[in-house]
A and B are shown apart, each in its own frame.
Chain A
């Protein structure tokens, strides 16, 4: 997902307070910034929301890559709007994380020096225009699977950010599928591009949900706190069940010879992605890790004089009326 492999933090708080806190969660209460919360809950959420925010921000890069080369002016304006949305989603989430007592600059610096991660999916390149279709359809489609239930998460600011994001995310997936339809019903060359995009993005999209978490202690704690709503396997299954018929509608082939409907479980059987590749990408060895991080660092460094200049100007303006009195 946009937040992968989030380890929940151990909590060493007063057992009585912990029990009261858990009772609030179990009763469906929303936890708000000024409420008492276990340190572990706070730290796990900062990591999870922060990673989610970073993914939205870094996720602008693979799509930004195609803004200048979109095939029509209409596609270009749509893609611009989508990338602008991603920036907005990042900002909603950073604000939610900041209510937990971490500053925006701290979060940014942790992304830039590699202490915090972003989703593995954005370390794959976008090689053709069809990739814009595949990203919207598959990557945003996978993100929605996770974000819709998170609208009911226990932390108020996070849940509210998710409500805004989900409203906008549906546009993203539809515009992606629209591109895929155009390509799949186009010339032979366009169909080849569409199939190639599906081939390259299928398994990385399945990886977004993270490895099977049935034995994970961290997942159990996060689920108890209602900051993780479904298991990784559950969401991955849901994604495949939804997406496989859509691929068939497009006349494209999912690159998995073992994909087949299982009547008994009422879902598809499918192959697992290469988890060694997933861990390798997380370690920084994906096709684009270096490029993505370098680009984020460049933007931050080159924007420094603007951030500081505007701040200095604001301070000067504020000082003037006092001097005149």
Chain B
């Protein structure tokens, strides 16, 4: 060795592989305005389409008069359900096994429902034409409260389902009922409650909100009549699924459909589903023979595509007097809006809500969920969470606090007492999951030690006395939340979307000069896949991340995948990447053995190549191997160095974390001020700590917004209220608290690199931390549970109810 030979540490650093805070490659284009989002794409001859939408929450459509619009110069078409009928496209299947009107078929079921699609030369003329379309309505009685949905005399919201006593998920009990889903041992659970020394029972509502990425949903469809080919650019979190669904619906062969997701300006679950805008853009392109662009505006986004939550959870805990939980019983009333367009794996009508046993070792549990229709927008997407996991975490974490209060126990102590212990993993939960790994006691203890939990409690006790003496008008609240996520859908044996199994994929090609192009079935919307996927490959294959190009979103070139949502990319696509890399590595080892004239078994991997065991001077770098793979492969071995892997995970992964929030609430105005927020996340192996921290910051900010005021609200006649950024609470930098992040590392035993996924954890754990802090602040005044959102006026009302 001479002085120029890099040390092992230098060689490793050069790779910028897993564990390093690699700067993002995406940023180079994004910071120069060179991102390529859907609305940036301009095709020759492109038209612009937009919707006429319903004024009413529930009404029969008596007449649509488009004559004035059609007479406006520049207007090419006005499409209504009548035009879609001959194509069989006036209704579309939803991901949840229901159907949804693409354009209103005789009646509207929610305000702003799509009625007609206007296509014109540009968006200005389209907007003018929208004003000229006259729709005559006959108003119908409206249901906005899910608790009134199944009243005997409730109006029939879905006449298309009239008389159907079974739906996609079994029996329907009422004309506005969608499904009942139950899991767990009911008899044993009822018995636990019958025997319980102490029980609590509360209705815990998680209000309706919306993911609201900064870029709305958009698409451009371009149909080439001569070739019979359809190209669709769109804000698709799952482009391959869109291709398959488009083929099934349009009968265009799948190989003649090219779906491309370019850069996506945030998704958070909003861009998983299939929307009327996509279908109408496609139909309009077929009809006009020209490309058609559809771009939602913000009001349309907030009021039509994909709400989240609207879960009303009645949760009961049975426990011993000393705080050992003996049973959990939960019933959920789920408001799905006018169509069940929930974006869950198809067999899971309530998603993975049965993670509601949380981080605790409950001997028995039972859960039942009733889904109902109301006159609200359809959706039910996983807004920055795995399917219905935020709702579940909120439910159990509020319930544990309610129980702690009744027991007179510290909420952290109650959690410690009931945690699944480290040695119990893999752990079978009472509601059917096998948790992969965890060390909950360690995580919560670290969180408590870091924030000085006991001192905070002492300070709070003193402040409460001062409040009682009238010396302060502030209430101090400490919110503890401990969550376990379930992410990485997958396993195909129990997860599919409309029959498409939920695996994911990666294809890696090493070029002769040792650089790489790799493509995945996942699709980044800001998560930084181009950066982190390269880091996995760099570590696995010893090629510097900078020499690796990651490409996603083009269904012509990427292997089939199910896309990015539910924190599934790292658990599934991330695993596929590692597995594909290992296939390459196996072949590389054969080539290296040939080049070094030794047996494969005499070689060992060393950072960026293979070396002969006991003789490290004799080595071949991956770069040298790549050249040989193409130009001098061993006899009998096919040339080239590439691999594809389709990864069907054996299990989900179970990230977890401990969050602590400290807030002060001014009872005179109801304004809550976050004093401190500490988030400890355990997402297993950490691929890029910088990106993990960024994901946690973002998820906590969304959790803060949701807990403290972000809401999609309807008035009693079905008008959607405040669907703009004036009213819909997206905090600015001023309102957003400072975040402290921390971690422990408990790798997933079944994942090739031990990673679990993190993007959604902070939303899952964050919301209960804020809400528990609010409730903790008021608890000593006799309050048990205050419903979210905790905006100022509601907290002021809570204070007043409590007589302060």
A, B from the same assembly? no
Binding site for A on B (CB under 8 A): none
